[in-house]
Structure 1
């Protein structure tokens, strides 16, 4: 019997591109297969990344349906992967929405690049297409929480609630008698819609994310959004909210409903301009109606928000184009959350030059994305090959984060019934990962390591 191993194929030294390869006597499999996002040097890894020998992999476990955790799956399939993709039923539904949208955006970006010549590649090509996505979806194998599931001989997986987005999971692996826990993206204890993450089970190895490993979230400040809305609408401008289609759009709508209902902001038209967000809303709506156990009782407030705000849904391209210049004050919620693609990019191109308008950033903005550039005070951003001046107000509202902060990550780790041999800190920028590793060592007394990309470690 050989020692089982773990190889860090992604999310090492960066927040995106989660991909972890395990090998035991029974064969190899991945936990997560995410896209790199952000700077060009990271995105290039999507084209030349080590996929662990796609055709030789028996399975992929997907922790949740965000693109940086599932967006590489169709490329694996294109490269020969034909095994099972294990995830929760809700994740399977959301993965279908996310991947179809991803293929569409990649094909559209390639088309625009070829038409306008702003790519260095001749011709520009998508990483994968619709056919690759449909082949991928046929491999999805949904399993419920707390149901041990065989992956390969000698290896099982058990998914447990992570409280990050609907269907999100922490991952417990048992590989050749070694137990490994991966946090995936860990949610916060007080998510408005979801119940908190399950405690850490006993394991010799823990792999923990560190998106906010070097900071703690400020106390909730609902007045930040309320004041931004009042200022913008008062000067005749419109508010653009780049929001992740999965989970973030839902939280924004719940908060908008509260602000309008309490009279803190005036009632104006509210648009959701993202086919992916609208499809996701339907999954949430159904799970709320069915009383999904991962949802808090307060989750019904999402349905109240849709009704009371009279949310206007935009499905067609013509309707979206009209929102580039709305003509009268309104609130537009559109994907993507980091302004790296999707309809929100077209809205930004038209609305950023107008000082009456406002852009409200509602989540983590990875280095190299337009959202991060706006957050850092850029006076112009490049969109579709042209630089656009930033004259609109830009507001950062951290209240919507659904990533555990450093204190919450440590508190979750401390629920483990016994100390692990090693904690590997991943899915964070270099400083955040290093800071969290230092705190794990100092406060919990556990060995904590920030692994290098491509590093291989033994699990015994």
Structure 2
């Protein structure tokens, strides 16, 4: 193992915003990336996906992935399209889930460009996808599996993945650079994830990048779990309406189903059909079912048989739902209502006050989910404005992001305090609020980095 002389870290995403996780590590001229996600939400952020990448992707040797969510992985095919041919390292569950995410992303990229072209709502004369399904297929063979808590040699780096408890396969990544070290939290799970094994404590590091998505809030701890969900379902059934739950295909769909099982067993919701609509969600569910060793004690996904569960894997099955008016619960991606089949359900159900939309987690600024959360009277779906007359609610209990106290606990549990904590993956206000708490409670230097900022890791 060589001894590095220079090392810098560049914040190419997730700085002052939640999405677009991209951190460029340059050690003695060798380039390694940690995560390669898409920017989501507001238009000025999404435009960054189309900007020329700051370095030639062909000069990047390795990409280290924390977990499979799109804002951490779905820029990978764009890098491959522009020359990246190195290795992509991730845990086995992350690789399996990333395959699902990336194939769906490639399909949606092509579909969005085609819809814009035919619908005429794009400002571009010839709308083109950021990347294609062919770029995705060229990306998948580059993945290399890693084990949790095992050092791998990427001379001059040693890299280690530690379970983060956010979604299946999620990890914090520790990088040793000679005598210096860097720890990237990735997205951290709550101390009590409902279906997964809890997060572990990674090795300490000189520099820590800590997520701050929920840095300014605490998760509720109600006397009865998911009271919002149970009440919403009861009211909607009384109105003879339908409940649609926009849910991320990975982890959120599984935790929503788990909650519905518990509510059904307790007699707190009526026995009505539950539909998981979408091949991406169902493929992810299959991966969870194959990963029993990663589930929390006492949790088995065989419990879903307690529900009147319908899985719609193809488009024809999904379209048949349009003809049903009986009360039901539809779980469909995406979680922030930015794409996928859930848009068709929203377009159909939002104009009718009998129906309910239940938001199941964080809604980034600029997304349809955020607009619905903030009381929008109409939203634009596939080029058309749709009136919002349905009841719109949010169940905060579904979030598996660590809240502010969880993040403080994670930092405090490190064996040695870091020199500096950089707060990433948060809106500016959330990051700043968490920074104040860390400085006050842990007496650590905290910084909210700027997009494009470069720090010297050897200083």
| TM-score under structure 2 length normalisation | 0.97
* Map of 1:155 onto structure 2: 157
* Map of 1:303 onto structure 2: 302
1:271 and 1:245 map into 2 onto residues whose CA distance is 13
CA contact (8 A) 1:200 1:412 kept: no
* Map of 1:349 onto structure 2: 347
Greater than 6 Å deviation, 4+ residue runs:
none
Post-superposition Cα deviations, 1:63-109, rounded to whole Å, max 9, x if no partner, equal 00000000100000001000000000000000000000011111111
**1:119-134 paired onto structure 2 within 5 Å:** 119-134=122-137
* Map of 1:66 onto structure 2: 69
Post-superposition Cα deviations, 1:344-380, rounded to whole Å, max 9, x if no partner, equal 0111011100000000000110000000000001010
* Map of 2:456 onto structure 1: 458
**1:18-417 paired onto structure 2 within 5 Å:** 18-25=21-28, 27-48=30-51, 50-151=53-154, 153-220=155-222, 221-288=225-292, 292=293, 294-300=294-300, 302-305=301-304, 307-417=305-415
User: How far off its partner does 1:2 sit?
Assistant: 3.3
Post-superposition Cα deviations, 1:422-451, rounded to whole Å, max 9, x if no partner, equal 110001001001111121111111110000
User: How far off its partner does 1:51 sit?
Assistant: 4.9
* Map of 1:441 onto structure 2: 439
CA contact (8 A) 1:339 1:370 kept: yes
Q: Please state whether the residue corresponding to 1:138 is helix, strand or coil.
A: helix
User: How far off its partner does 1:336 sit?
Assistant: 0.3
2:296 and 2:313 map into 1 onto residues whose CA distance is 29
Post-superposition Cα deviations, 1:305-333, rounded to whole Å, max 9, x if no partner, equal 2x111311101212212324532111100
- Structure 1: gaps spanning 5 or more residues: none
Q: Please state whether the residue corresponding to 1:412 is helix, strand or coil.
A: helix
- Structure 2: gaps spanning 5 or more residues: none
Q: Please state whether the residue corresponding to 1:36 is helix, strand or coil.
A: coil
Q: Please state whether the residue corresponding to 1:296 is helix, strand or coil.
A: coil
CA gap 1:49/1:216 in 2 versus in 1, 3 angstroms: farther
CA contact (8 A) 1:214 1:435 kept: yes
1:330 and 1:440 map into 2 onto residues whose CA distance is 44
1:219 and 1:314 map into 2 onto residues whose CA distance is 33
Count of aligned residue pairs for this structure pair: 453
CA contact (8 A) 1:26 1:155 kept: no
User: How far off its partner does 1:26 sit?
Assistant: 6.2
1:326 and 1:185 map into 2 onto residues whose CA distance is 38
1:320 and 1:49 map into 2 onto residues whose CA distance is 38
User: How far off its partner does 1:53 sit?
Assistant: 2.2
2:99 and 2:230 map into 1 onto residues whose CA distance is 34
CA contact (8 A) 1:101 1:276 kept: yes
1:41 and 1:320 map into 2 onto residues whose CA distance is 33
Q: Please state whether the residue corresponding to 1:418 is helix, strand or coil.
A: coil
Post-superposition Cα deviations, 1:184-210, rounded to whole Å, max 9, x if no partner, equal 000011001112211142210000000
Quick check: 274-283 or 175-184, which moved more? 175-184
2:157 and 2:424 map into 1 onto residues whose CA distance is 23
* Map of 1:423 onto structure 2: 421
Aligned-residue RMSD, C-alpha: 1.1
1:26 and 1:177 map into 2 onto residues whose CA distance is 18
CA contact (8 A) 1:87 1:142 kept: yes
1:51 and 1:267 map into 2 onto residues whose CA distance is 54
